[in-house]
Amino acid sequence: MANTLKVQIDNLIGSGLASTLYDDWLVAGARTIVDILKAEDLERHSSSVSVPITTGLSVSGYRIWKVLVGGYDCLQYPAGFETQISDSGSLLRSSAFTPGYIINAGTLKTYNGSNCAGTLIGIAYPSAIDSSTVEDIVGVPENMHHAVILYSSIQGRIKQISSLADSIATAITATLTTLPTPLVSSLDVSSHLTQLETYVVTTEDIELATAKINEIQIIIQNWLQNTAGEVKIELEQSVLKFNAELEQMKTKVASYMQQTQNYALGLQQLQSEYHGLINLYLGLPQGGEKQ
C-alpha cells in the first residue's frame, strides 16, 4: 500500500508539522506543475467541462488544453472580438465547422456563429488536498508526482527553519523574566540580550552570540564582586540562577545553529532535486535557472 502524501513529505523532512500546512503547499505545488505540463501530458490527464451558453465558464481553476464545439477545435479570439465572430457579415464570423472562443475577464464563452454551448478540455487545478488520507494528486502525471512532494517539502523545511528562529528568540527573551524587579535596575543586561537575539536570529552568527553570552557573564561576575551588603545577599541567588541559565543558553545557541545549518543544507538538497526534476521534464540543461 502506498504512503499518504503526508508520510511521503515526512520521509523527506521529518514529522512534526501539521498536515493542514502540507495541504496548502501541495495545492500550490500541484498548480505549479500543472502550469508547466507539456501537451502530451495535458492530453493524457485532461477531463471535459461543459461551457454554458450566455454565462460561460470561469477558467481560473483550469489549465486549458483545448476548447471544442460540436466536436471541432475552437480558435481563440481576443476578448474584444465577440461582435465580429457573431456577425454574419464579418470575415471573422465563426461557424459550426470553425468555432471560436473568447476569454474575457476570466470567463470563457464559445461561438459557432453565435454564442453556444461548448466543452473545455483541460486539467482542473486542485483546490483542496487532504495530505493525511490521499496518496496521489489528481491531474499530476506520475512522473511529476515527486516534484509536488519536493515542492511541499521545501516549504516545510523553510517553516522548520523559521520555527527554530522563533524558538530561540523566545528562549532568549524569556531569560530576563527570571530576574526580580530590584535586580533589573542594578544589573541591566536587557540591551545585551537584545543584541544576543540579533546575533542568533538575524545574522545567525554563533561566534558573536557566544561572545555576547560571555560578555553578559562578565557583567554578572563584576556585579557579584562589586555589590556588597544586604542587596547582594538578597539577590545573589537570582544572579547565580540567571548565570546558570546563560550557560544553558550557550548550549541552546550551539544546538540551534547546528540544526539551522543542517536544515539549510537539507533545503539546498531539496531545491536542487526539485529544479533538476523540472529541468529534466522540460528538457533543459541540468543546473539551469528554471524556477
Q: Which residues of 128-139 are buried (b: 16+ CB within 10 A; e: fewer)?
A: ebebeebeebeb
**Mean pLDDT computed over every residue of the chain:** 88
Crossing angle for the helix pair 190-197 and 142-175, to the nearest 10 degrees: 170
Identify the pLDDT of residue 271. Answer: 96
Contact 117, 61 (CB under 8 A): no
Q: What is the dihedral of CA 208, 214, 215, 216, to 10 degrees?
A: 110
Global pTM reads: 0.80
Neighbour-count burial for 59-77, b at 16+ CB within 10 Å, e otherwise: beebbbbbbbbeebebeeb
Least confident interval from 10-14, 259-263, 264-268: 259-263
- pLDDT beyond 70 at 229: no
**What's the pLDDT at 288?**
47
- 87-117 tens-digit pLDDT: 888 888 999 999 999 999 999 999 999 999 9
Side chain identity at residue 75, one-letter code: L
Render pLDDT for 132-159 as a digit per residue (tens, 0 to 9).
Answer: 999 999 889 999 999 999 999 999 999 9
pLDDT band at 291 (very low <50, low <70, confident <90, very high): very low
Tell me the Ramachandran region of residue 51: left when phi exceeds 0, alpha when psi lies from -120 to 50, beta otherwise.
beta
Cross-strand bridge partners of residue 115:
111
Q: What's the confidence (pLDDT) of residue 166?
A: 81
* Cell numbers 561572545: residue: 211
Distance from C-alpha of 268 to C-alpha of 274, rounded to nearest angstrom: 10
Count CB-CB contacts under 10 A for residue 284. Answer: 14
Provide the pLDDT for residue 207.
82
Is residue 51 within 8 Å of residue 100, measured between CB atoms? no
